[in-house]
Amino acid sequence: GLKKKEVHVLCLGLDNSGKTTIINKLKPSNAQTQDIVPTIGFICLSQYLICQAKADTEISGNTTTNIKHRRLPILFFANKMDLRDAISSVKVSQLLSLENIKDKPWHICASDALKGEGLQEGVDWLQDQIQ
């Protein structure tokens, strides 16, 4: 049968970019929070069971967090795509020069975390990467 495996996902982004909203939407509906208060700080670390897959990640260390990695996949969300002046995911990848990332698999999705659009596409990609 299918085996569930816990994986560690590190979620990084600018303040107010939608990290908490994205993580919240990925939870089962009965575990979702209705009111999201913008996260203070610059890092949001979430441990979340997303799929049946073999984790390729080890997080260790006490004062510092040391991430040992082998081809850790990186998923980018170009979030808030619903905003009128939002730029496309293609343009975002150009602005961030993502094509220069040669040693890791990466993927970018446009998303609207309020409606939940684009999130599943990203998670499906991530799931494929960590099988």
Q: Are 88 and 78 in contact (CB under 8 A)?
A: yes
The residue assigned the tokens 């909203």 is 21
Is 21 or 89 the residue whose CB approaches ligand GDP more closely?
Answer: 21
* Torsion-angle region of 5 (φ positive above 0: left; ψ -120 to 50: alpha; else: beta): beta
Contact status: 2 vs ligand GDP (CB under 6 A): no
Is the CB of 119 or the CB of 130 nearer to ligand GDP? 119
Q: CB–CB of 130/56 below 8 Å?
A: yes
Min dist. Cβ of residue 100 to ligand GDP (A): 25
> Of the candidates 83, 85, 99, 102, which one interacts with ligand GDP according to CB under 6 A?
83
For residue 8 the two structure tokens come to: 């560690």
Q: Which residues bind ligand GDP (CB under 6 A)?
A: 13, 15-21, 36, 38-39, 44, 79-80, 82-83, 112-114
